[in-house]
Amino acid sequence: MYEIVYTSAQNIVLDSQAKRRLEDAAALSGADMVYSDYRLIAKDGSVTEHPLCSYTRGSVRSDFDFGPIVLVRKGVLPDMGRGFDPFVFYAARLRMGKIEHVREYLYSALEVDDRTSGQKQFDYV
């Protein structure tokens, strides 16, 4: 009925009840997509909680942060073939009904980009 979609290439460690908790939230809310807060594990082993913003209907930015995984109702996303396509995901997200944010830390992601924040600051330029 639902499937987990990896939106980034990070290594993910799901908590023991993560998928069930996401599925329960989706079933209770009737959401097409559910996402949650997560913990970020740095290369030195330090753990930082990474809370996410709640999605509202007007959040149409293509770079809205849902985290590295989301739970999606089967059939909502078209087949992406060989991997995650952010443009296909964005187009599908705009057509989705309800998107639910679970305010719990349900998984951990290993940090990929370990540059200091001063080096990351102007990456958008």
Count of CA atoms in the C-beta half-sphere (13 A) of 24: 7
pTM of the model: 0.85
Q: Are strands 99-110 and 33-41 parallel, antiparallel or unpaired?
A: parallel
pLDDT (mean) for 96-100: 93
Of 13-22, 86-95, 111-120, the range with the lowest mean pLDDT is 111-120
> What confidence score (pLDDT) does residue 86 get?
87
> What confidence score (pLDDT) does residue 112 get?
78
Nearest-angstrom CA–CA distance, 41 and 110? 5
pLDDT tens column, 18-71 = 999 999 999 999 999 999 999 999 989 999 999 999 998 777 788 899 999 999
Q: Is the pLDDT of residue 114 over 60?
A: no
Nearest-angstrom CA–CA distance, 20 and 25? 9
96 vs 63, more confident: 96
Query: Exposed (0-12), middle (13-18) or buried (19+): which is 14, by Cβ within 10 Å?
Result: middle
Helix ranges restricted to H, the chain: 18-29, 86-95, 117-120
Nearest-angstrom CA–CA distance, 97 and 93? 8
Q: What's the pLDDT band for 78 if we cut at 50, 70, 90?
A: confident
Of 15-29, 59-73, 80-94, 109-123, the range with the lowest mean pLDDT is 109-123
